Chains A and B, each alone.
Chain A
């Protein structure tokens, strides 16, 4: 079974600053996907960024980038130039890319507050 660990229950960052959210996972699989989802107070889960395990290059999406360390099973999210709208719960998630893979395994989440 896979497990996803987010060791920071809460974090805060000043507007325009950079913050890094940590995530580690445990799996015996070699092919999988990793995700960061954002859940603002509006409740909708929004995909922030996705990383395929076979790709060595770290994924980036505008102000969001990841540091994927496959050997260390680490998948941290860096948010640059933080904005008030980034205030949300952030969930790291794992999915096995094998056949019949439906389930996202989520970490417990990190509550991020962006301070004006």
Chain B
């Protein structure tokens, strides 16, 4: 299965600033997904990123707040812009590695605290 490296693992940021989270995969994948996991909550899909096209955002998430880049088939970034304490959460990237195993692989997550 694919191995995902996600950076940073954690950060503490001032409100009003932005943080860019990086996700590197050890194999080429068509689709990459960005999730948010708020404390004690389940995973909520933010957007789906395909290489060479604009990311598709889920209801409640907008590009101005969460711009995504997908420059190639192994890398993506998610930026959390103009942060407020409500953005404190764990952010996870995920890929569909394909093949018979199905199921999606997740990175270890970025634990973000906004103060």
A interacts with B: no
